[in-house]
Amino acid sequence: DMDMETDQIYQIDVGNLLAFNPNHRFSSAPSSREELVKECVTEGTKLVQAIADTLFNLPSTETNDGPLVQLPPPTTKLPREKHLPRPKPPTKWEEFALKKGIQKRKKDKIVYDETTDKFKRRHGYDRVNDDNDIPIIEAKASDEPGEDPFAKRLDDKKKRVGKQEKNRLENLKTAAKAGALPSHVQLAVTGLPISGTKTQPKKIGKEALGDVAGLAATSTASGGKFDKKLPGEKPPKKQGKHHKYLPVVPRYGWVDEEKEQTNKVLGKLLSKHSHEILNVGKAINMYNDKKEKKKSGRSDKLKAKKDITKKKPYANKAN
């Protein structure tokens, strides 16, 4: 059908359900928008029909949902969204094995254990050559007298494991350099680059950073009030007690809040039920504590604050 007209060969890509007609020319000036739209849709229909012609003639298999066809791979090349996976550089062991000609050998899950004459698993519960199962270690001439051989074994294992972890990290770093880090692994920097001693600087937390910033701020000449702040930096927390003082002279038309505050307290004290409000036991304890403190002459600031509500053993002693 479509091949009969001279210029009407469409470029069809069945894999993408895509069709392109490079040869359609519009009759010079489409009269109205509707005419134009109609013409576009008709041309589109012809293209879809052309794709469907090829599509429905593909071998199909019947399934419960309908006829399933196997689409050919798409022919239009489109750019990838990510790079091709890069080959992993060989690890240090792999290089060594290649050089020495060492072949990989598959290990069995079940191994014969000579000490118990049984077949035990290689890893896991009740395994072959478990470190914890050794009852006796014979002393050698090279051993020092005070040394615990069991602890030494554990220590050696820790060192081996640590060395292996270090090697693994190095291998991953070379892989990351080549851009071939495995997808599930991320290398995270935990501290600043150190030159000199090998001590790792502890990563400082958000609150600690804020405290240090506050310290630095108060040590300035103006107490940190006019310091230029970075975008996103919060204003400094007010140190010391937080008092809210109500205005003595009330605003015109507003309730005298200060008067109300004092009246409230007085009201509670002088009311009929004032004995229920006052916790006599607590008041006695507080009084006694104050007395004790005065006696000992210690200052609150140096010692940790004690919880006054907790009853002390000497609380009800008559002084």
Partner 1 sequence: RKRFEVKTLGFSSLELKNLIFFLGAVGRVAEVAGKSSVMMEIRTPKTHKAKRVLEKRAPKLVENGKKTLILHGTKTSATVSSVLMELYRLKKGGAIKYSRRNENIRPFESGGETSLEFFSLKTDCSIFVYGSHTKKRPDNLVLGRMYDHHVYDLIEVGIENFKSLLSFSYDKKIAPHEGSKPFICFTGEGFENVPELKQLKEVLTDLFRGEVVENLNLTGLDRAYICTAVSPTKVFLTHCAIKLKKSGTIVPRIELVEVGPSMDLVIRRNRLPNEGLRKEAMKSSKDKPKKKVKNVDQDDVLGKLGRVYIPEQEVGKIPLPDKSKGVKRERREGKVKKNKEEGSASKKLKESE
Considering the complex, what minimum distance in angstroms separates the CB of residue 287 from partner 1? Answer: 32
Neighbours of 25 (CB within 10 A): 6
Q: Which is nearer to partner 1, 85 or 124 (CB)?
A: 85
Q: Which is nearer to partner 1, 66 or 145 (CB)?
A: 66
Based on CB atoms, which residue is closest to partner 1, 21 or 91?
Answer: 21
Q: Is residue 150 classed as helix, strand or coil in its secondary structure?
A: helix
Q: How far is CA 20 from CA 51, 224, 316, in A?
A: 10, 69, 98
User: Coil, strand or helix: which one is 56?
Assistant: helix
Give min distance, CB of 161 to partner 1, in A: 14
Amino acid, res. 198 = K
Tell the smallest beta-carbon distance from residue 33 to partner 1 (Å). Answer: 7
CB of 184 to partner 1, least distance (A): 5
Q: Are 110 and 121 in contact (CB under 8 A)?
A: yes
Measure the CA–CA gap between 150 and 137, rounded to whole angstroms.
Answer: 8
Nearer to partner 1, 86 or 312 (CB): 86
- Give the angle 218-221-222 at the CA atoms, nearest 5°: 75
CA-to-CA distance for 168 and 92, rounded, in angstroms?
A: 9
The distance of closest approach from Cβ of residue 36 to partner 1 in the complex, given in angstroms and rounded to an integer, is 7
**Element housing 231 (H / E):** none
CB 9 within 8 A of CB 3: yes
Q: Which is nearer to partner 1, 116 or 218 (CB)?
A: 218
Residue closer to partner 1, measured from CB, 1 or 307: 1
> CB-wise, 173 or 291, nearer to partner 1?
173
Least Å distance, CB 89 to partner 1, is 16
Query: Minimum distance between the CB of residue 185 and partner 1, rounded to whole angstroms?
Result: 6
Nearer to partner 1, 47 or 128 (CB): 47
Tokens of 246: 């109500």
Q: Which amino acid is at 145?
A: P
List all residues 6 or more positions away from 242 whose beta carbon is below 8 Å from its beta carbon: none
Chain position carrying tokens 């990290």: 169
If DSSP codes are grouped into helix, strand and coil, which group holds residue 17?
coil
Nearest to 248 by CA among 259, 237, 238: 259
